[in-house]
């Protein structure tokens, strides 16, 4: 039965763009007006879609990913005046068969949200409370992890880029169709946490002879990264000209979180030099720096 399920799922879900389309349509069917889509490694490591739609009723959560379960039609008549994208109850179950799926949901009736972890057959295997607000977030990890040939087929940057382009085109189409919809797509998002002292704050200033007071981490790993350090210093020079004129820098801390697959830590044996697939964009640091009493901000 598992093999049959896998085979039929492979036909429904053949690529990242299928997953995104099915999940997006579920969000639209749930009346969402805001949908955020996040991909890591072109979606092959992680696809996450968060919406602010109706949420899934507690009574439906046990069966939501069971093959052919749908809450969208009750009778044969409903088929004649179908107003939803989905009605076959196939998508969620099929995605479960080819990825690790978790669904977090909260309706207006629920006091708190719940995160459900599903297994390969679409059954709920565990659940825990979630802080997320009304709506549904579906997260699919390790797409095609059990289909090595398909995974291999996509292990090619050119193919992956084509896939990403398809996702962008798809989203563009829905965005044009529904101007009231707020739709975002992020790929390999960089999260920056940091600490910079406020201007004028009494803090231990380093000097040019003792400049090494900027702590930079990538994925919690301390690194000596000249290019990032340069961006941080540039930022500081612009923000605090008085101090920078003296060539003094305060103690600063920056932790950059990127998907593990986009960083190579084996450049040097001590792993303090790393290679980032994408340059940390200056604009991200800049938006980060606009907050003056920096505790932490997600860029
Ligand atoms: P279908 O869309 O054909 O009904 P799916 O497998 O895509 O089938 O989804 C199964 C069911 O899970 C839906 O009928 C709906 O009840 C619920 N569901 C899935 N995604 C969402 C969502 N984002 N918001 C609300 N309900 C959802
Ligand atoms: Mg659907």
Q: Closest ligand to 71 CA?
A: 1
Pocket test for ligand 1, best of 19, 22, 29 (most atoms within 8 A of CB): 29
Torsions phi, psi for 14 (to 5 deg): -110, -10
Based on the fold, state whether residues 157 and 239 are members of the same structural domain. no
Based on the fold, state whether residues 40 and 143 are members of the same structural domain. yes
Q: What percent of the chain has pLDDT over 70?
A: 76
Based on the fold, state whether residues 118 and 266 are members of the same structural domain. no
C-alpha 269 – ligand 1 centre gap (Å): 49
Please report the ipTM that was assigned to this predicted complex: 0.99
Domain boundary among 160, 187, 214: 187
Average pLDDT, the chain: 80
Based on the fold, state whether residues 35 and 73 are members of the same structural domain. yes
On whether residue 297 sits in a domain, the answer given is no
C-alpha 73 – ligand 2 centre gap (Å): 12
**pLDDT score of 280 more than 60:** no
Residue 6: pLDDT band (50, 70, 90) is confident
On whether residue 115 sits in a domain, the answer given is yes
Q: State pLDDT tens for residues 13-58.
A: 889 999 999 999 999 999 999 999 999 999 999 999 999 999 999 9
Q: Closest ligand to 27 CA?
A: 1
C-alpha 41 – ligand 1 centre gap (Å): 25
CATH number at 259 reads 3.30.230
Based on the fold, state whether residues 37 and 85 are members of the same structural domain. yes
On whether residue 299 sits in a domain, the answer given is no
Better-scored residue on pLDDT, 145 or 218: 145
Q: State pLDDT tens for residues 233-258.
A: 776 666 666 665 566 666 777 788 77
Based on the fold, state whether residues 141 and 213 are members of the same structural domain. no
**Most confident listed range (35-39, 66-70, 291-295):** 35-39
C-alpha 277 – ligand 1 centre gap (Å): 36
CB distance 26 to ligand 1 below 6 Å: yes
Section 104-119 average pLDDT = 97
Better-scored residue on pLDDT, 95 or 212: 95
Name the residue among 140, 138, 58 with its Cα closest to residue 106: 58
Q: How far apart are CA 216 and CA 214, in angstroms?
A: 6
Tokens of 295: 């505790």
Can you tell me which atom of ligand 1 is nearest the CA of 93? Answer: 6
Report CA-CA distances (Å) from 85 to 9, 89, 169: 18, 11, 18
Based on the fold, state whether residues 158 and 214 are members of the same structural domain. no
Query: In this predicted structure, what is the pLDDT of residue 296?
Result: 31
Based on the fold, state whether residues 280 and 135 are members of the same structural domain. no
C-alpha 41 – ligand 2 centre gap (Å): 24
CB distance 13 to ligand 1 below 6 Å: no
CATH number at 29 reads 3.30.565.10
Pocket test for ligand 1, best of 71, 106, 114 (most atoms within 8 A of CB): 71
Based on the fold, state whether residues 23 and 145 are members of the same structural domain. yes
Q: Which residues surround ligand 2, an ion (CB under 5 A)?
A: 26, 86, 91
Dihedral of the alpha carbons of 231, 236, 237, 241, in degrees to the nearest 10:
170
On whether residue 298 sits in a domain, the answer given is no
CB distance 53 to ligand 1 below 6 Å: yes
182-187 and 34-40 beta bridge pairing: parallel
Tokens of 247: 């060539």
Based on the fold, state whether residues 266 and 173 are members of the same structural domain. no
Residues in contact with 44: Cβ distance below 8 Å, sequence separation at least 6, in sequence order = 16, 142, 143, 144, 151, 154, 160
Domain boundary among 158, 187, 216: 187
C-alpha 158 – ligand 2 centre gap (Å): 29
On whether residue 296 sits in a domain, the answer given is no
CA angle 248, 293, 36 (to 5 degrees): 120
**Which long-range contacts does 239-243 make (Cβ < 8 Å, 24+ apart)?**
239/199, 239/289, 240/199, 243/199, 243/205
Q: What total number of domains does the chain contain?
A: 2
Based on the fold, state whether residues 65 and 120 are members of the same structural domain. yes
CB distance 137 to ligand 1 below 6 Å: no
On whether residue 294 sits in a domain, the answer given is no
Residue 70: pLDDT band (50, 70, 90) is confident
On whether residue 69 sits in a domain, the answer given is yes
Domain boundary among 187, 215, 230: 187
Query: In this predicted structure, what is the pLDDT of residue 200?
Result: 54
Q: How far apart are CA 204 and CA 294, in angstroms?
A: 17
CB 55 within 8 A of CB 108: yes
Based on the fold, state whether residues 275 and 230 are members of the same structural domain. yes
Tokens of 186: 């992020």
Question: Which residues span the domain enclosing 195?
Answer: 191-289
């Amino acid at each position: 039965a598992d093999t049959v399920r896998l085979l039929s799922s492979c036909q429904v879900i053949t690529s990242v763009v299928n997953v995104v389309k099915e999940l997006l349509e579920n969000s639209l069917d749930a009346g969402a007006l805001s949908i955020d889509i996040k991909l890591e490694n072109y979606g092959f490591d992680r696809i996450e879609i968060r919406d602010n739609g109706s949420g899934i009723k507690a009574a439906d959560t046990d069966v939501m990913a069971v093959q052919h379960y749908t809450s969208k039609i009750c009778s044969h008549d409903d088929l004649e005046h179908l107003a939803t994208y989905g009605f076959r109850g196939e998508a969620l179950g099929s995605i479960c068969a080819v990825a690790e799926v978790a669904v977090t949901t909260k309706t207006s009736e629920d006091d708190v949200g719940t995160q459900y972890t599903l297994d390969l057959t679409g059954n709920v295997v565990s659940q825990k409370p979630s802080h997320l607000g009304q709506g549904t977030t579906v997260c699919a990890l390790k797409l095609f992890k059990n289909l090595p040939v398909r995974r291999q087929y996509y292990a090619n940057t050119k193919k992956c880029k084509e896939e990403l382009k398809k996702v962008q085109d798809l989203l563009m189409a829905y965005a044009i169709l529904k101007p009231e919809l707020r739709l975002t797509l992020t790929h390999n998002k960089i999260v920056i946490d940091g600490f910079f002292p406020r201007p004028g704050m009494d803090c231990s200033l380093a000097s040019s002879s003792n400049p090494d007071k900027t702590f930079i981490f990538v994925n919690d790993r301390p690194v000596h990264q000249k290019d990032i350090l340069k961006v941080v210093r540039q930022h500081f020079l612009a923000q605090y000209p008085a101090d920078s004129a003296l060539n003094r820098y305060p103690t600063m801390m920056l932790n950059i979180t990127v998907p593990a697959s986009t960083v190579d830590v084996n450049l040097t044996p001590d792993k303090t030099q790393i290679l980032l697939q994408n340059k940390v964009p200056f604009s991200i640091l800049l938006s980060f720096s606009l907050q003056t009493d920096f505790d932490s901000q997600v860029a």
